[in-house]
Chain A
């Protein structure tokens, strides 16, 4: 018995040492940059080129130049950025506009201050051999989506062709896992895929019949943008009560300006921007991030209103879709976002003679690599 106490004591002592060492190292870090305002950004998903602009802004010192020390927190399947920001563990959050709308409907006071992506990256994919080359042909088929607020565009598309996905009628909805194995194994008829992520995950696999990678010509890719049920995705949001203070408004303008500058840099330096993302330890390798960077740029550029500014028409379309398929109590109004922060940020960037529109930007040809390596 005595020996057991001794072991417990040792473990407790070890725990204390670890805590103390941990505390002193963090204290050391904070004194080094005491002049900078510390803020935290909560991402929607794991570290990847989807968030390249923010990582670039940090790596290139754009945040520092605006007097900020930004901690970027990666997300994951069980991390809901709205909850993190509403709970005060981060000042800024990145998520789809639809998530912001469903959260607000439940009484969470958060506000979009910059809409970074102005096109939807969501597609429905199927195998060419299945003959399902339109949403209409998905009737009575098995269609996968991640759900949890990511399903609205797909549900609206299915409903447009007479199916009732909310009640699982006319179509069978299944919850999509976070890997595309099930699609490769033909366990569904159609699956949701982001142009920048899951689509590439399929193309990075070898076709056992040919021994070569799957090709785009093996797939039907139906973008929600083409079906007419696209919604706005990644945007920057903050707490509604937090942004009321003038200090926080000034801080937000600087944060958004630096972030957008990061995105502008990634537009002109795709390869270098991918290297920055890779330095931050993404789950998927270089080839995959290179594909993603290119596709993400395509969701931003060209930016008709200039990067970061909300397009009211796209907002209204998104609001209507979320109202129906997110079963909201009321239609999200225009109080869910403000444009003054983004406009001020754009003004800062224009002063630096930066191109906030990227009219001449063209998608690069990215070669798919096996396994995304």
Chain B
């Protein structure tokens, strides 16, 4: 026998090009939907004589974006920084407090109902109040809104992850004589990671919403929320739509950024490949 038996051979992974090709095939249905939506949007406005100022055509929005791209992208960047700052503060605090509450369970059990209740509050309603507490024209006030928005979902999900460990795993760690820190490091945190990443992905979206809506109530001239708000009140809907498009792009990029970190971290969890 000069060749190894078939069963021992490595599973053929295919060439890089082949893999890209296969992924492209996976994306085709989604792309078709996207194209259909844009074509229907574009054509229905022309066919049904929908007033251009109410719902501009995608091509109009695209060309408006192109003419104003410098202003829009830099406004988006300004707002993205607020979202990022709020995300870091809110998620960081959420993670930290979840760890504390998971370590001292009775404390956690006492607070859990209130945390879940707080998680259900439409916190965005606090946006004007944050503008009163902090300087409404600074990035700080928007970060505060974004941070509060991110805090509760990250806290609640992380705590749930940390405490949904199989009791047998804990017993096993105990039988090894592992301390609390070791148990957290080896069992609780790895179990909680999928929960944490789900929460962080939600938090990226919430942080963008918080920053933009916060800006509706006052903010810098160069902020995306201010731009969208003032353009839509002066009937410049193409500009407003282009601004919304930029907000979407930053939001999606933020989400994908976290999703990539998730894939790199959680390679052993099969479902993260989705």
Interface residues of chain A, those whose CB is within 8 Å of chain B, are: 80, 82-83, 99, 102-103, 105-108, 142, 144, 147-149, 151, 168, 172-179, 181-182, 185, 187-188, 326
Contact = CB atoms under 8 A, between A and B. Distances in A.
A177 B230 CA distance: 13
B136 A182 contact: yes
A175 B53 contact: no
B226 A147 contact: yes
A96 to B, nearest CB: 11
A177 B137 CA distance: 9
A124 to B, nearest CB: 16
Q: Closest 4 CB pairs between A and B?
A: A177-B218, A148-B233, A173-B221, A106-B235
A149 B233 CA distance: 7
A142 B226 contact: no
Interface in B232-269: 233-237
Contact of A149 (B221, B226, B234): B234
Contacts of B230: 147-149, 151, 175
A132 to B, nearest CB: 17
Given A103-B235, A149-B230, A177 B128 contact: yes
- B interface, over-half SS: loop
Contacts of B215: 175
A316 to B, nearest CB: 21
Interface residues of B, number: 25
Contacts of B233: 80, 148-149
Given A177-B128, A181-B132, A172 B221 contact: yes
Nearest to A172: B221
Contacts of B219: 174-175
B87 to A, nearest CB: 23
A106 B237 contact: yes
25 contacts: A99-B234, A102-B234, A103-B234, A106-B235, A107-B51, A107-B53, A108-B53, A147-B221, A147-B229, A147-B230, A148-B229, A148-B233, A149-B233, A149-B234, A168-B221, A168-B222, A172-B221, A174-B221, A175-B137, A175-B230, A177-B128, A177-B218, A178-B217, A182-B137, A185-B135
B220 interface: yes
Contacts of A172: 220-221
Interface in B197-245: 215, 217-223, 226, 229-230, 233-237
- A interface, over-half SS: loop
B137 A188 contact: yes
B218 A182 contact: yes
Contacts of B51: 107-108
A185 B134 CA distance: 10
B219 to A, nearest CB: 5
Given A103-B234, A144-B137, A148-B229, 11 more contacts: A80-B233, A147-B230, A148-B234, A172-B220, A172-B221, A174-B221, A175-B220, A175-B226, A177-B128, A182-B218, A185-B135
Contacts of B235: 80, 82-83, 102-103, 105-106, 108
A108 B226 CA distance: 23
B109 interface: no
B216 to A, nearest CB: 8
B131 interface: yes
Contacts of A99: 234
A179 B131 CA distance: 10
A140 B235 CA distance: 30
B220 A107 contact: no
